[in-house]
């Protein structure tokens, strides 16, 4: 059985925002920040975080379609 490991065959190396395992993201991916998290609910985290498949399942429960 062939298992597709990466969602994007081409992309750049990035790190999961949760467990920091290396993943591949879209080449045009850029982390966007709301602010540095001071007195803000964003906690300085990127507003478009990327996660590895494991964390994505942990966080979203199911793979969203």
Residue 5 beta carbon to Zn ion: minimum distance, rounded to whole angstroms: 14
* 46-65 residues near Zn ion, rule: CB under 5 A: 52, 55
Q: CB of residue 63 vs Zn ion: minimum separation in angstroms?
A: 14
Under the binding rule (CB under 5 A), the answer on residue 42 touching Zn ion is yes
Tell me if 63 sits within 8 A of 56, measured CB to CB: yes
DSSP string over 19-65: T--EEEE-TT----BS-S-TTSTTTT-BSS----HHHHHHHHSS---
Binding residues for Zn ion (CB under 5 A): 16, 18-19, 34-35, 40, 42, 52, 55
């Amino acid at each position: 059985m062939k298992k597709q490991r990466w969602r994007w065959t081409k992309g750049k190396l990035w790190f999961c925002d949760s467990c920091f395992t290396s993943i591949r993201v879209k080449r045009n991916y850029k982390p966007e920040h709301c602010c540095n998290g001071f007195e803000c609910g964003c906690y300085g985290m990127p507003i478009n975080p990327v996660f590895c498949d494991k964390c994505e399942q942990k966080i979203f429960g199911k793979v969203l379609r």
